């Protein structure tokens, strides 16, 4: 990052991105059910829907697809040094690729927020291991390369060139070239390119949505309501200091406020209990006592509307134990609204966002649908995580300059059509 030419190019990118936003199509990629593990009664926690966008890297450019993940720092690619480069990046074909030594600043100081510190391999190159909540992991070397998207090129972008991965769902793992880390860490993609804002809008339909770097100054965009990011400077064992951490203050089901102590929503002395906005996690997870209160109130308000799946051992993805039988030939009945009450803003989760049909699970003429809020204690996770399923049809803005996250209801398919097809 110290080379004058690189600084000039980065300054050009930053200047461009602040005057004219970079708008990219965002896709909802569904993983075929045949790739998911299916024990008799329990489906292990995994991601079977990913948010992806396409770009190119290297010289000459290689086309890749990456999952956007606001819950991760380091971007990484599946690397393969062979002629078959489908869903892989081949570093041997790029003249702008370079490996990063252990002695570099990127390896020694900029990785301070990595959960697993980097190590030095036999060639004195920076070796990294990344592990995720679904028990998948990947490892390889820190490297730099030119990333291209929109009309911009960003040389010297630091990322992980990964040659070893472990996943319980290998077909899922292989459908994308890699993952784009977009949290607030020093080596996240948004930190490296220096944008002050980015946003996305996710849709179930085609087009799948929008990913935008820069200001979203559109006359048709509703005013956003913001909640501040929570900062804790002291290192705590269970607090992620570079996550988009906000303050959840309560939950309503329709007009009924869950009667819970405020202390349930505040991180404790270990950092456990923070609330993170995470595009890389599919559903929303709540700590045990809050989850139980929400589950009980939702059951109370849907009595006579939904038929509970009477199978105590059935737990979807290991954390979702509230499931129902719903007639697949009829529309889902009207459901109560779940309102997440953040400091300064409320986010309403409506209708179809509250239930998710489990692929391959049927009972007579009924499909199995599970409540899309899971129990963090069953995963286990030490945090509240707001997943992307609950963010659909919502314009979500990450305002890094002002340390806040903004929300506004939006038909994201229409937003994408306005931006890409000018309708």
So which residues are the catalytic ones? 69, 278
CA–CA dist 136, 95 (Å, integer): 31
Q: Indicate the helix (H) or strand (E) that contains 349.
A: strand 345-349
CA–CA dist 2, 107 (Å, integer): 15
CA–CA dist 291, 185 (Å, integer): 29
Q: Which two tokens stand for residue 120?
A: 């030095």
Collapsed DSSP state (helix, strand, coil) of residue 327: strand
Please say whether the dihedral angle defined by the alpha carbons of residues 91, 56, 21 and 200, taken in this order, is positive or negative.
Answer: negative
**Residue found under tokens 């002395």:** 269
- How far from 141 is each of 85, 120, 125, 257, 301, CA to CA, in Å? 18, 9, 7, 49, 52
DSSP for 196-257, written as a single string? SEEEEEE-SSSS-EEEEES----TTSPPPEEEEPP---S--TT--TTS-EE-EEEEEETTEE
């Amino acid at each position: 990052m110290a080379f004058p030419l690189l600084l000039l190019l980065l300054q050009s990118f930053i200047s461009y991105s602040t005057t004219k936003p970079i708008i990219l199509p965002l896709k909802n990629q569904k993983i075929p059910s045949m790739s998911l593990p299916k024990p008799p009664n329990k489906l292990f926690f995994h991601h079977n829907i990913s948010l992806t966008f396409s770009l190119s890297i290297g010289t000459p450019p290689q086309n890749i697809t990456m999952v956007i993940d606001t819950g991760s720092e380091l971007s990484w690619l599946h690397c393969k040094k062979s002629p078959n480069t489908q869903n892989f990046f081949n570093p041997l074909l790029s003249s702008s690729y370079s490996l990063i030594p252990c002695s570099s600043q990127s390896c020694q100081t900029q990785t301070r927020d990595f959960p697993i510190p980097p190590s030095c391999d036999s060639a004195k190159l920076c070796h990294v291991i990344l592990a995720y909540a679904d028990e998948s992991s990947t490892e390889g070397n820190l490297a730099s390369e030119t990333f291209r998207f929109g009309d911009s090129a960003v040389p010297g972008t630091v990322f992980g060139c990964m040659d070893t991965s472990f996943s319980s769902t290998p077909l899922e793992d292989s459908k994308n070239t890699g993952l784009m880390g977009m949290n607030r860490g020093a080596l996240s993609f948004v930190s490296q390119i220096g944008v002050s804002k980015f946003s996305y809008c996710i849709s179930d339909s085609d087009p799948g949505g929008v990913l935008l770097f820069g200001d979203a100054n559109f006359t048709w965009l509703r005013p956003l309501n913001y909640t501040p990011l929570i900062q804790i400077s002291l290192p705590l064992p269970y607090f992620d200091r570079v996550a988009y951490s906000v303050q959840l203050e309560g939950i309503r089901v329709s007009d009924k406020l869950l009667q819970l102590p405020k202390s349930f929503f505040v991180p404790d002395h270990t950092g456990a209990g923070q609330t993170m906005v995470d595009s890389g996690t599919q559903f929303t997870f709540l700590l045990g006592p809050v989850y139980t209160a929400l589950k009980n109130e939702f059951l109370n308000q849907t009595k006579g509307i939904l038929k509970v799946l009477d199978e105590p051992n059935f737990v979807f993805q290991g954390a979702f134990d509230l499931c129902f039988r719903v007639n697949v030939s009829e529309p889902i009945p009207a459901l109560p609204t779940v309102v997440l009450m953040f400091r300064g803003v409320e986010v309403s989760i409506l209708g179809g966002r509250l239930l998710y049909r489990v692929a391959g699970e049927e009972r007579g003429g009924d499909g199995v649908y599970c409540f899309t809020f899971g129990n963090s204690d069953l995963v286990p996770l030490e945090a509240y995580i707001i997943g992307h399923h609950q963010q659909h049809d919502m314009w979500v803005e990450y305002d890094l300059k002002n340390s806040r996250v903004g929300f506004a209801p939006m038909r994201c398919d229409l937003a994408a059509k306005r931006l890409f097809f000018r309708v």
